[in-house]
């Protein structure tokens, strides 16, 4: 979801639009902002009583939602915040991949009668495979390492619905002082990330071989 969202932004930012450099800067600002500061801001925005998000929902006659206090909405809220935070970084990487595609290929596709949709699916997206792989790997690694927003916003609650792997390791080590168990969990987490990255690498190599032949 985050990759698709940032790709859509990159496609827009790749056009020759007025003020596009300003928008690129605005979209990238959350990336260079501290996770702690971002989490505190969103903690205020999602407040069930005085938060702006619920205030906007009230315009449409919708009831207030306890975003971070309800097990059904706490994790989706954190996921959306993480997507918003990383969208600028992903956008820059997508944009670099888009600008590396030779313009001659688009001209040839236009001569062959391909429309924009066909050009995107059959030309742009396949040529973005290395970029997609890089973002997929970093996205998987990042998803396993989520800690700060959980620590600031929910402390793993409510009802452990946002208890991520790294936060669980932190809690076992520094709250329950079970350092041996936490160390073992850290090694397991490392193995899971390594295997997930290896699987993605093998898949991309096979896809490249299929395209070449």
* CB-based contact 158:67 (threshold 8 Å): no
Q: Show the DSSP H helices in the chain as ranges.
A: 2-13, 20-32, 35-45, 52-59, 71-99, 103-111, 116-119, 125-127, 129-144, 148-153, 165-174, 179-212
Given a contact cutoff of 8 angstroms between Cβ atoms, the answer to whether 27 and 87 are in contact is yes
pLDDT > 70 fraction of the chain, expressed in percent and rounded: 97
Gap between the Cα atoms of 181 and 188, Å rounded: 11
What residue segments make up the domains of the chain, in order of their start?
2-212
Give the fold, CATH level 3, of 2-212. MetI-like fold (1.10.3720)
pLDDT (tens digit, 9 = 90+) per residue, 106-116? 889 888 888 88
Residue 135 to residue 76: CA distance in whole angstroms: 21
The structure's pTM equals 0.86
Residue of 3, 1, 9 whose CA lies nearest to 28: 9
Interval 157-181: pLDDT, tens: 899 999 999 999 999 999 999 999 9
Distance CA 89, CA 32 (A): 9
pLDDT at 212: 59
pLDDT score at 154: 94
**Tell me, what's the pLDDT at 204?**
73
pLDDT at 79: 94
Q: What percent of the chain has pLDDT over 90?
A: 58
Distance (Å, rounded) from C-alpha 13 to C-alpha 24?
7
Both tokens of residue 7? 């790709």
* pLDDT of amino acid 141: 87
22-42: per-residue pLDDT in tens? 888 888 999 999 999 999 999
For residue 19, what pLDDT is reported? 80
Q: Within the chain, which residues score under 70 in pLDDT?
A: 207-208, 210-213
Rounded to whole angstroms, the Cα distance separating 11 from 3 reads 12
* Predicted pLDDT at 52: 94
Alpha carbon distances (Å) from 7 to 102, 120, 145, 179: 18, 12, 23, 41
């Amino acid at each position: 979801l985050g990759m698709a969202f940032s790709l859509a932004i990159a496609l827009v930012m790749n056009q020759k639009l007025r003020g596009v450099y300003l928008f690129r800067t605005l979209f990238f600002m959350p990336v260079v902002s501290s996770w702690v500061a971002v989490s505190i801001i969103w903690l205020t925005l999602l407040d069930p009583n005085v938060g702006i998000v619920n205030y906007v929902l009230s315009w449409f006659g919708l009831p207030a939602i306890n975003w971070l206090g309800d097990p059904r909405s706490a994790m989706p809220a954190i996921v959306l915040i993480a997507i918003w935070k990383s969208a600028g970084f992903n956008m820059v990487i997508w944009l670099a991949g888009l600008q590396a595609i030779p313009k001659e290929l688009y001209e040839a596709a236009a001569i062959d009668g391909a429309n924009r949709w066909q050009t995107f699916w059959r030309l742009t997206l396949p040529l973005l495979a290395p970029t997609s792989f890089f973002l997929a790997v970093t996205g998987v690694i990042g998803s396993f390492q989520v800690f700060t927003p959980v620590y600031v916003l929910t402390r793993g609650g409510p009802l452990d619905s946002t208890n991520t792997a790294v936060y669980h390791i932190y809690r076992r080590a520094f709250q329950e002082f079970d350092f041996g168990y936490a160390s073992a969990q850290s090694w397991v987490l490392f193995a899971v990330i390594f295997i997930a990255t290896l699987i993605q690498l093998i898949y991309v190599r096979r896809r490249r071989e299929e395209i070449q032949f």
